[in-house]
A and B are shown apart, each in its own frame.
Chain A
């Protein structure tokens, strides 16, 4: 009893001490993100557990047992050849084999992670340790896949590998004759390829940032001790880059698991449907009312994998610093590429980078095509598709919805990001780090898991109100979407604002407090003006990624088409009649143009460097 009392006293002492440093503004800054995350992240996720682990009203593992004992989900034997040669058509068909939904997802994610990591390491070494002509161009080329064009870029990749008139077969088989057969990539292989192309820049940038931040004297010391070339890389450079490698690889692993766009585009092939994310999605939209708890169980499993990895990498590197654009030590002496090096760069690396930028180029072509079906290149060009987006009220509605949601979400994101960045930078209490953890975690939480948890959350807690997603007639997804978007895209703005506040010396604020200004006035007049470039950059990036958001949009936003956002429409036209994909491409083009504009504004006007990073 005595011990308890002194513990309580100490706690009380702590709290009263902490309160000395608080004021209404900092209390708001502490509580706003805390309550938001408890209410709109933790509660829905825990609520989803409550659905997944209950069978016929009692706690049970039934749903998980069903999943793990079903051959549909786990099939250790594997079905079908991963690839085969079709003599009749002289065609190499690569689709992957079926090991069941769960193993397929893990296998695809592992392959994507391994390939992007190796490729990322190669690029990072090249960009951080060598100087050569055309380097800037190659660096920019390697970032093209970051341009957002949900669904459409996957469609273009699928088109490129069309066995008859796809660009790759036309170029490598028909024209150059390098390939003795036609190449047909579809199913799981098509998804993996799409994800590799889309996600490698994230890994590459993470590793590059790590490599540029290695103190060059460490490597020089290695050279002194006789390490050279490959040994130096293996023994010193790569181990020192582990934080970047680990965080990049983990993020890509999670992104691959949660990706919905590639499976939806490739789902014409039966194998492409056998992935966890697609199963959640397709089961969800094929049911009505309060969906089967099996969906929740799948989502819980996905969450479990993501959380495991998230916790693993936090020991390596804080997620906030992921993909921060390297400032680097400019003093490092770069190696000049020799003749052999140039040969490798321009006959191997450059063509691959060019290839990975084709999807974005293809989206632009498609957006301006009159018709592009049975030909290698579009049959003709037109502005009609882009004009249609703005002139057809049925299409424009979706763009307008998304821009409205994004604008409203920005307000929420701004307050959340400012609060979280401020308290984690300025307050030194225990517990502040949990706000840091929570506010950076959405980066590594699968969007589809959040979306599903929201569905159950609102369907249970807001039953028969306009926020009830099972209420087909009256459901208004606006608040649900805005809150969901805000939480998912918070890390982008948070990272920018955090970096800004970190650079403002705390004395500048203290001088203002000392002059008699309150906290609110101090933040308004001193802090915000000083971090406004960071705030605006962060919000602009968040804006773009809200407009391009897929998971929450197509799970929640689909439930009332009057309120549906842009990506729902893009998905729809992708699935519907031939001919409407041009409109989707036009929307993709508009999205990429917005993103490029934002990047240019941020780099030229705000002079910030992390603009083009994103997922």
Chain B
């Protein structure tokens, strides 16, 4: 197991810049997630780490070994492909044993290890089946077992759960987390599903258009999105644009047009700067509570999201999303008073 250093990786395909100067530092034994919309370069980065693709510039380092131009077969990474890439002409046993045979383990050692790993992924008794005879979830486990059994330095998972149905997906992501904990293998996990990323990861890198937008723990990413992209891609947020009117002790008052919002300044600003205000629905509270950011709007729509309502309000012509308990009595068209905790309101530059 090793740490993985990614230094200034750039990769073009013709005119498309798949990766634009990407740098990341992934710790030994960490479960690190690359999160971003489809086409943002996640798979490309994973393939570069695996040696299936080579960067135009930049460096990949495992521990203190520069592996940038090392052939895939020499890297001792193990990748779980999005389509699993199980070999259809081999049984489950043969699929899993393949990497060990390449590494020239003795026969009984192979048998023992395959057996152990199949137990770990809960597939005992399936050795003789062919991939075509397995369900999607089982195939996914075989792919995982095949990758884990060689005790790779780095485990690479490319949207491993995206082909499973919703219920299985939740189950399997807990499995992946458990197995990663048990084995302690440095793992890079790719997903476009923010919920998956938030629940499973030690740290997350949010990517967009080939660039890393923000790196942090799930809580950091969720609580303090660095820019509008991260704020909208992860969780639901209200985004308002305005002009900074006043600055007090790291807080600022922003004129949205018709009303004002008080929030935390995320960087240095001057009065008069154009800024963007971001806050989450759960940081708004219904009712006339003493304090700052007391607002009132007309209910435009109400959405039940399981134990809560998402309520969309029209406040002076601006859309604001808030969270409300289901026991409240809400109707469309009704006026509603609410307030926003200023500590949870982020004020960022409008340029990002």
Contact = CB atoms under 8 A, between A and B. Distances in A.
A and B form one complex: yes
Interface of A: 17, 20-21, 23, 505, 507-508, 510-518, 521, 525-526, 529-530
A508 B85 contact: yes
Contacts of A512: 87, 98
A530 B88 contact: yes
Contact of B81 (A510, A517, A525): A510
A394 to B, nearest CB: 47
Interface stretch (B69-77, B214-222, B271-279): B69-77
Contact of B102 (A21, A505, A521, A529): A521
Given A514-B79, A516-B102, A517-B98, A526 B72 contact: no
Contacts of B72: 510, 513-514
Interface string B38-79: 000000000000111010100000000000010111111111
A492 B83 CA distance: 32
Contact of B98 (A17, A515, A529): A515
B74 to A, nearest CB: 8
Given A529-B89, A530-B88, A514 B78 contact: yes
B268 interface: no
A505 B103 contact: no
Given A510-B72, A513-B72, A514-B52, A526 B87 contact: yes
B150 interface: yes
Given A514-B72, A516-B99, A21 B54 contact: yes
Nearest to A510: B52
B89 A530 contact: yes
A514 B86 CA distance: 13
A516 B71 CA distance: 9
A507 B102 contact: no
B83 A507 contact: yes
Contacts of B83: 505, 507
A529 to B, nearest CB: 5
Contact of A514 (B54, B77, B87, B89): B77
Please give me the 6 A-B residue pairs with the lowest Cβ-Cβ distance, nearest first.
A507-B85, A515-B99, A511-B85, A513-B72, A20-B54, A516-B102
A505 B99 contact: no
A516 B87 contact: no
Nearest to A521: B102
Residue of A23, A508, A511, A530 with most partner-chain B CB within 10 A: A511
A17 B68 CA distance: 12
Interface residues of B, number: 28
A507 B81 contact: yes
Nearest to A513: B72
Nearest to A511: B85
B101 to A, nearest CB: 9
Grouping DSSP codes into helix (H, G, I), strand (E, B) and loop, the A interface class, with mixed when no group exceeds half, is: helix
A517 B73 contact: yes
Nearest to A504: B88
A520 to B, nearest CB: 11
A505 to B, nearest CB: 7
Nearest to B150: A515
Contacts of A529: 89
B25 to A, nearest CB: 23
Contact of B52 (A17, A513, A518): A513
Given A505-B85, A526-B87, A513 B54 contact: no
Interface string B194-226: 000000000000000000000000000000000
Contacts of B56: 17
A517 B87 contact: no
Given A21-B54, A23-B71, A516 B150 contact: yes
Nearest to B94: A525
Contacts of A17: 54, 56
Residue of B56, B75, B88, B150 with most partner-chain A CB within 10 A: B88
Contacts of A517: 73, 98, 102
Interface in B281-335: none
A526 to B, nearest CB: 6
Given A517-B73, A529-B89, A530-B89, A511 B81 contact: yes
Nearest to A517: B102
B11 to A, nearest CB: 11
A275 to B, nearest CB: 50
Given A510-B79, A514-B52, A518-B73, 20 more contacts: A17-B56, A20-B69, A23-B71, A505-B83, A510-B50, A510-B85, A511-B86, A511-B87, A513-B72, A513-B73, A514-B50, A514-B77, A515-B98, A515-B102, A517-B73, A521-B102, A529-B89, A530-B87, A530-B88, A530-B89
A92 to B, nearest CB: 62
A513 B73 CA distance: 5
A511 B52 CA distance: 10
A17 B11 CA distance: 12
B146 interface: yes
Nearest to A525: B98
